[in-house]
Each structure stands twice: as structure tokens, then as C-alpha cells.
Structure 1
Amino acid sequence: MSHLPVSVIIVSRGRPAALIRCLAGLSQQFYPTFEVVVVADPPGVAAVELGPYATSVKLVKFDQPNISKARNLGIAHAAGDIVAFIDDDAVPEPTWLGHLSAPFLSDAEVGAAGGFVRGRNGISFQWKARCFAQTGKTTDLNLQGTQPVVLHPTEERAIKTEGTNMALRRDVIASMGGFDPAFRYYLDETDVNMRLARNGVATAIVPLAEVHHGYHANSIRNSNRAPRDLFEIGASLAVFLRKHCAEQEHAQVWKSFQADQRKRALEFMVAGDLEPRDVRRLMSRLREGYKDGRMRDLESLPPISRSAEGLLPFGAHPDPQPVQLSGRFWSRRRLREEARSLVEAGKVVSLFLFSPTSLYHRVTFTSAGFWEQTGGIFGRSDRNQPLFRLTSFARRLRAEKLRVADQRRLFDE
């Protein structure tokens, strides 16, 4: 099978440990031709330089809180025909790049692609397929099956891709001038989606191109997703409306957005994660940001030239092999040690540890570099399943293995 060369771009700020974990996940991709461009602040740069991937990534130093500028630097250093984006607090499934890049090879009309994003329990989805209107408000798309679907924009909608799981033809995004630096945080990829739509560019939604997104803490939110500051969110909304929405709609969109953000903050307050004074401060910062965004310069975006650097191949092991381990939870110490040894030997390991309970299941990519699923034999994995199901260890293992077979290549011979 043919493959297009891909450049994976990671922007990292304030999360060096998460960055190294993301790189570990990328090192296990079942994809032969890709490089990794890391655009990072000083702690991120230091972590990469001292870690196992120091010589196998393109490392770009950048210390400004502006994700759009950082991504454009990544595009400038990218040598691949396709540029893919993943956040530093995310980890891709081993088949991510293979699935995400396939539509570009099979359909010349496809200029962008986006995959599905799993949340913190490693099973439920944060985002699947979505579209949005000129207000920026998203709507879920009900796509059936696991095959890629090529969607074309209309006057009423653009196709949404998530910044932590998206890819674009490099020539397309570079000719557009990349991401707009007026979006320092939030709506940056949505603006790109809208500009693609106005150019009539088709987008592929690829269900099996999955990443796991951790929502780690940053300057904007806590690790529990409670907001710390809403300034840039307000500013980005103002910029987006100025660029894409009719002026007469701005006031109503802004009013509705404020109500949504206040409701979200109050929910965190009721849960004990914010205090009343935090809510007042956050809403004040949201209004300040919106005012700032109304005044930001909207500059033209010059094309991004291609770097003279060639592709720098990434991957600790050129042909990783999938391996499955399983057992009861009381054997976890022995099985985890075996999994660690197999990872060091270049294997992509999925470890299933079940207890004789009805505990919910969780999936994590461990610091040792293997995928681990824990939970009760009788408990639910998909959160839409019954709370309790009478089954055996062997039947449960087959079911859970089948659930991730396409993502991990766990197929019975």
C-alpha cells in the first residue's frame, strides 16, 4: 500500500511530561513515513533534549502563548505532504496516522481530515463528527459506520475538525497562510475550517483515526476542566464573529455565549471547584477579552514557505508489532512487568486486566508505554451498556479486544 509522507506537529506549553507521553504514543504508530515537529516552550524543549527522542524530532523553540503562531512555525518546518496536528496532552491509537492519512491518497478532492477523540476514561468520546455555522456554534453529525466519509461544505455549514486530531494537505494550509495569529487560543482550527469551506475544500471524517485526549491543566483551565481564565476565549469569539458572521447577529451570539459560559462556571461552583468570586472574575475576564478581540488587527496571512529541511523519520522501532496480554487483576504486577519488557523490545502492547466485579472500565496509555484496560468482568466499558452483564472472563476479553481491534490491529489469526 502507498503512503504519503506526513509531518505531525505538536505544540507544547507548560506540560513537558505530557509531551514525552505523546511522543511515546507516536513512536508506536503503524505508519512507515512520518516525522514529528515539536514547537515548545523552554521546559518542553528541555524535556525533549534530555529524553529518548532528542535526535528524532524537529525541535522548534517558541515561548509565546499563541497556539496559531506556534502551529504556523510547525508548518514552516514540515517536510511532509500532509501536516497532522495533535495536542501534547493527547495520545494517538497506533493506527491513527494510517487511518487519518488514507483519504488524502484515495480522493484528490480531500484537503482536510479529522478523526474521533476519546475522553479521560479512554472509552467515551469527547467529539465525533460535527459541523458549524457562521456563528461558530457546532452541531453533531450522525455518521454511520467506521469508514471515512467525505463531506463538502455548503453555504450554511462548514465541517469541524478538532485541533487535537486533524490533518491537512500542506500545500493547502500553507497557501492559506496557516492559522490566524489573532486566535491565540480557542476557535483557531474552527477559523481554518471556515476558510477551507469558503474555498470549497472537502473534508474527510475518519472515525477510526482516534486519539485519547487528557484535558491536562494549563493556564486556561484546571485538570478537572474548571476554567481559570476566559479572556482569550472571549477575544477569539470576537475575532471569529468579525471575520465570519454578519454584524447584525453579533449581539445575540455574544449574549448567548455569555449565558453558556456563566452556566458552565456555575456548574463548577456547585460542584465545589469554583467559588462565587471566581465566577464573577471569570465573567469579567470574558467581557474584557471580547472587547480586546473587537480591537485586534485582522492582518492578511502570507503563504508559508516550505523549509529546506527534508523529512526526519520518527519512530524508535520501524515496524512495531501488536501484542495482547490479559489476566485477572491480582496478576497485575507480573503482567505489567511483562508488558514493559515487550514495549522495550519494540512491541505495541494492549494489556487487559479484569476483576470479578462490576467496576466501570478505563483505558490508559501508561508511562511505561503500553495500553492498559482495567475494570470488572461484569462492568460496563461503553457507558451506554447495562450496569451489570453476566458473562465469563473469556467472553468479556473477546468483546473488549474486538472493540479496539481496528485501532490496535488485534486480529485473530
Structure 2
Amino acid sequence: MPTTRNPGIDSAEEIAASIVICTYRRPELLAACLDSLIGQQVGGASPGSAHEILVIDNSALADGRPAVECRQTAFALRGVPLRYVLEERPGVSFARNRGVAEAAGALIAFIDDDERACEGWLERLLEPFHRLGDAVDIVAGEVEPDFGALSRPDWLADDMLHFFSCRWGWDSESRFLHEKEWFGEGNCAFRKRLMAGRAFPSDLGRKGDGLLTNEGIIFMEMRSAGAATYYVPAATVSHLIHPDRLNRRWLMRRMFYQGVSNRLTQRRYGLEEQRWDFNVNMAKLADLDVESLEGESLRAVIRLYYQLGYAAASGMN
């Protein structure tokens, strides 16, 4: 599978961290993400202060390659290798696993192609590893929504933002996360050694335009095995909320597939599956004017679509 490497990089220089960007057919967003990484620094007192950037393109069309190749010289002038890797097996899990395999750094940071790193993002994300040493295994940052040229819809309440992988909001100060406090794969860093004997599950996670999720369950594995996770709200990225997702019908579809993903995850790990007793008139549900819902009515339908997805997963392999 093709890989492109930077010209003019001293391969003897120690790479402290690898930034991995998994992308799928969004070259304009990938370009903006890469531009936000120019000038980012590792910081700290770790051995080696260099970092590299790996773009893992999950499209057989390789449409992310031009965005990478036209920026390689600019990054090389700053001493940052920028590499392009084509991973044709469909699914973000294959892309994440390829990124881990290709990474030269002892620390790996993930940022998504529809995100942009805010000023000082990388240094803040990696700072706990330098300051606290082996007491920290995983660091999670915060994700702020970016609505682009559109206004935030009135119906999109703060407690719904995490459905769009934004605004975890665990605290205003940095601290260790508790067991049930989660984070997103789009803004985190971890020690590569934690991946020994592990892989992102290829039956979960996004494939193309599909909405399956939960490939990040691998971090739950790590944490269950004792990996300490630190939260840094100041290590922030902005996440573009795509215009075609800013409607309630997309959110219903999103929640249906979250239900599917959660049940498949529980089955994979032998966890107790939930049971609900509910009757749904599908004809009436189909006629429901979803786009008129807000507040508690919207939340109730969100829960219903989640439960429908969860129930639908019972017959899936």
C-alpha cells in the first residue's frame, strides 16, 4: 500500500510523537486540518522534541494525496515529516490500526480530518506525559463545535452536542478522568505500547458514509487494564458540524446506529445486554414530523431511535 515520505528530513532525529489523521474523501477539510497543525510543537522535556504527521487515506480514490503532497515542503522546513499512507481496506478501524503501525513516536495523537487544532493544542495534549511521567497513559482533550457559515439551530441543546462528538465538559480544570467519564477518538493521545496485542475492532466504527461507531472501545480495554486517563480541557480542537447533519432526521439516524453499535459492542465483550419493553407503531413513527420537535419531545424521540437501533442489532452478526 503506497506511502509517500518527506524529502529533507533527518531520519536520525528522534520522533517523540506521531499525529495520525484518518481521512475519507474530504480533501478540503483535510487541508484545513493540516494547515492548523503548522507551528504546533511537542514541548516538554521528553527525549526528542520532534514530531511527525501521518495521513491515513481510507479511500481507494486517494483523493487526500494532493492535500498532503502540496504541504510536505512547508512542514519539512519546520522539521516535521508529513507522510501519506493509503489504506484501502474500508473502515476507520483499519485506518487507525494502520496509523498505529506506521507511527514512529512513542506517543500517538489522533485528530480527525474534520477538526482543526487550536493554538497550542499539541503541546497541551502531551504536557501531562512530560510532567507526570508513567502516571499517565492516555490524555483526552476537548472538542468545540464549529457550525461554519451556519447558525447553531435553536433545537440543538448543550446536552445534545456530544451526539456530534463535541463538548465532553467534564471539568474546567485538568484532572484524571473517572471510570465512566468517556472521551472521543478525535482528540486524544496515548502511549503506543498500550496497543501491544490490541487493535481497533474492524467490525465497528465508520465505514464510508455509514454511521456505526464505538471503535474507540479499545480505550475502555486499556482503562479496564489500568491505563490512567488525564483530561485537559485546554487541549482543544474545533469540530466542523457538517451542514447536512444539522437537522433532526440525521440525528435520529445517528442515534439508531449508536444503539446498533452499543449492542454489538456489548455482545463482543460479553457484557450484559439491556432489555426494554416498548411498542412502536411504525406507520405513525414514519408520519411523525421530526423536524418540528424540540426540548423533551425531541429527547424522547432520540431515546426511541436509540432503542430501535439497539433492538435491530439483535439479529446482526
TM-score by length of 1: 0.52
The match for 1:224 is 246
Partners of 2:100 and 2:235 in 1: CA distance:
21
Residue identity (%): 24
What secondary structure is seen at the aligned counterpart in 2 of 1:29?
coil
CA shift at 1:213, angstroms? 0.2
Q: Distance in 1 between matches of 2:83 and 2:68?
A: 11
Counterpart selection for 2:93 from 51, 56, 68: 68
Q: Which residue of 2 aligns with 1:17?
A: 28
3-state SS, counterpart of residue 176 of structure 2: strand
Within a 5 Å distance, the mapping from 1:127-142 to structure 2 comes to 142=170
Partner of 2:54: 37
Matched, 1:162 2:184: yes
The whole-number CA distance in structure 1 between the counterparts of 2:307 and 2:182 is 29
State how 1:321-360 maps to structure 2 within 5 Å: none
Give the alignment partner of residue 183 of structure 1, picking from 204, 209, 232.
204
Match of 1:6?
17
Cα separation, partners in 2 of 1:184 and 1:255, compared to 1, 3 Å:
farther
Post-superposition offset of 1:35: 0.9
8 Å Cα contact 2:15/2:52 also seen in 1: no
Contact 2:201/2:215 (8 A) holds in 1: no
The alignment status of 1:171 with 2:207, answered yes or no, reads no
Give secondary structure in 2 for the equivalent of 1:168: strand
Deviations 1:113-161 (A, max 9, x none): 1111111158x9979xx9xxxxxxxx97652x43x212353xxx3x312
AA aligned opposite 1:166:
C
Q: Does 1:270 align with 2:270?
A: no
2:221 counterpart (170, 195, 209): 195
Q: Of 25, 50, 66, which aligns to 1:47?
A: 66
Return the alpha-carbon distance in structure 2 between the equivalents of residues 79 and 126 of structure 1: 38
Give yes or no for contact 2:23–2:55 (8 Å, CA) kept in 1: yes
TM-score between both structures, scaled by the size of structure 2: 0.67
Q: In the alignment, is the contact (CA less than 8 A) between 1:117 and 1:126 conserved in 2?
A: no
Alpha-carbon offset, residue 184 of structure 1:
2.6
Following the alignment from structure 2 to structure 1, what is the Cα–Cα distance between the partners of residues 278 and 40? 44
Residue-by-residue CA offset, 1:144-184 (whole Å, 9 max, x unaligned): x43x212353xxx3x31211111111111x21413111213
Other-structure match for 1:85: 110
Structure-1 separation of matches of 2:233 and 2:116: 16
Structure 1 CA distance, aligned partners of 2:113 and 2:227? 27
5 Å matches for 1:261-300?
269-270=291-292, 286=309, 290-291=313-314, 294-295=316-317
Deviating above 6 A after TM superposition, structure 1's stretches of 4 or more consecutive aligned residues are 124-127, 282-285
Structure 2 residue corresponding to 1:109, chosen from 111, 120, 135: 135
What's the offset of the Cα at 1:65?
3.9
Following superposition, the deviation at residue 53 of structure 1 comes to: 2.9
Amino acid aligned to 2:36: G
Task: Work out the CA distance in 1 between the residues paired with 2:120 and 2:18.
Answer: 15
Q: CA deviation at 1:289?
A: 6.2
In structure 1, the partner of 2:296 is: none
Q: Aligned with 1:269: secondary structure?
A: helix
Whether the aligned pair in 2 keeps the contact of 1:68 and 1:184 (CA below 8 Å) is yes
Question: What's the CA shift string for 1:222-281, capped at 9, x where partnerless?
Answer: 24255295575444222212145643x4223x979x9xxx99x9685327xxxxxxx9xx
- Look at both structures and tell me which one has the larger radius of gyration over its CA atoms: 1
Letter in 1 for 2:262: L
- Deviation of the 1:193 alpha carbon: 2.8
Query: What is the identity, as a one-letter code, of the residue corresponding to 1:39?
Result: I
Q: CA 1:12–1:250 in structure 2 vs 1: closer, same or farther (change >3 Å)? A: same
The answer to whether the 8 Å contact 2:100/2:108 transfers is yes
Change (3 A) 1:33 1:49: closer
Choose the corresponding residue for 1:28, options 39, 61, 69.
39
In 2: Cα distance, 1:64 partner to 1:182 partner: 12
Amino acid at match of 1:160: W
Unaligned runs of 5+ in 1: 131-138, 272-278, 296-413
Aligned-partner residue type, residue 162 of structure 1: G
Question: Contact (CA 8 Å) 1:232, 1:289: kept in 2 or not?
Answer: no
Query: How many angstroms apart in 1 are the aligned matches of 2:306 and 2:178?
Result: 37
Q: Flag the 1:255–1:178 CA change in 2: closer, same or farther, 3 A.
A: farther
Equivalent residue pairs, number: 254
What SS class does the counterpart of residue 182 from structure 1 fall into? coil
What secondary structure sits across from 1:193 in the alignment?
A: helix
Equivalent residues of 2:54, 2:103 under 8 A apart:
yes
